């Protein structure tokens, strides 16, 4: 049994509580023209979703806006802490989560995922001076303190695969960069999209990526279980965007390293 005080243990306990709470209130039909589509975002995952000044930006933002046009519905952004996304979806505060969410077995118990649209993996950002420590592969116990974002698959992976390491949970990627530069952590594990972005943006700060994926994960959008109309519409849009090339265009626009 997972310890209740661990992030993974807390996550599974929360999954059980959400599952017992039901599927939440019914919402408007997927294709009701003019009815706002409430999109849950946590703008802490550049280049997928983040803030440029006061404006939301990133690949997920462009895709959500295109999806809104597909439905003929305006987008109503609902910014939330990452840990609150699924709860807000079940409470009816949002209709869909479009926020760099990985498909996991645990999440699949309480939300309905669209077809995946991008393969990613957990990767580590390190100081360039430390990169040689990983020249022969990723050690079973990485040296120093591992930084992770709270309630993400990066945190779950670090707890599972590196139980002997010291973990430090961080609220956002800016905090992770600062902690790395100030030597408060020694590596930062996150989605490869975020890892490559941070390494590119902060190369002058001496940061780089260990180019060895620690996992394979698929990103997808999440809707409430039972909301078959919205799920079907989201899958139809993603299939169309994949076929006409617009999905690839959006991803290439924002990603430092192409998918």
We report the CATH number of the domain holding residue 188 as 3.40.190.10
Per-residue confidence (pLDDT) for residue 23, from 0 to 100: 45
Q: How many residues does the chain have?
A: 259
| 132, 201: one domain | yes
Verify that 150 and 169 share a domain, yes or no.
Answer: yes
Domain span at residue 73 reads 7-17+26-119+218-254
Are 182 and 225 in the same domain? no
Instruction: Give yes or no: residues 54 and 164 share one domain.
Output: no
- pLDDT, residue 256, reads 53
Ranges in the chain, pLDDT < 50: 1-5, 8-26, 257-259
Q: Is residue 232 part of a domain?
A: yes
DSSP state of 54: T
pLDDT of residue 201: 95
Do 37 and 111 fall within a single domain?
A: yes
Judgement on whether residues 107 and 152 belong to the same structural domain of the protein: no
Residues contacting residue 181 through CB under 8 Å, at least 6 positions apart: 127, 202, 205, 206, 207
**Quick one: 85 and 198 in the same domain?**
no
What does the DSSP 8-state code read for residue 36? Answer: P
Is residue 87, in this structure, part of any structural domain at all? yes
pLDDT tens digits, one per residue of 29-70: 677 888 999 999 999 999 999 999 999 999 999 999 999 999
Closest-CA residue to 192 (of 223, 165, 152) = 152
Residues 67 and 186 in one domain: no
pLDDT digits (tens, 9 = 90+) for 236-251: 999 999 999 999 999 9
Task: Say how many domains are in the chain.
Answer: 2
SS3 185: coil
Residues 66 and 142 in one domain: no
């Amino acid at each position: 049994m997972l310890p209740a005080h661990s992030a993974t243990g807390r996550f599974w306990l929360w999954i059980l509580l959400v599952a017992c709470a039901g599927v939440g209130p019914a919402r408007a039909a997927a294709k009701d023209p003019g009815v706002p589509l409430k999109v849950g975002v946590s703008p802490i995952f550049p280049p997928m979703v983040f803030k440029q000044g006061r404006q939301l930006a990133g690949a997920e933002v462009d895709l959500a806006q295109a999806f809104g046009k597909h439905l003929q519905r305006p987008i109503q952004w609902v910014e939330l802490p990452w840990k609150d996304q699924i709860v807000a979806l079940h409470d009816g505060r949002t209709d869909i989560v479009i926020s760099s969410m990985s498909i996991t077995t645990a999440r699949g118990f309480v939300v309905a995922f669209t077809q995946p649209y991008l393969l990613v993996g957990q990767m580590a950002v390190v100081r360039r001076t430390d990169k040689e420590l990983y020249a022969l592969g990723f050690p079973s116990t990485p040296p120093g303190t591992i930084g992770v974002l709270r309630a993400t698959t990066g945190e779950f992976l670090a707890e599972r695969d590196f139980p002997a390491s010291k973990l430090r949970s961080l609220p956002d990627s800016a905090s992770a960069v600062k902690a790395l530069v100030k030597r408060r952590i020694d590596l930062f594990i996150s989605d490869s999209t975020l890892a490559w972005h941070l390494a590119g943006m902060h190369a002058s700060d001496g940061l780089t990526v260990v180019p060895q994926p620690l996992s394979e994960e698929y990103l997808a959008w999440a809707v409430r279980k039972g909301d078959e109309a919205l799920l079907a519409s989201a899958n139809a849009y993603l299939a169309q965007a994949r076929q006409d090339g617009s999905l690839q265009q959006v991803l290439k626009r924002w990603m430092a390293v192409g998918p």
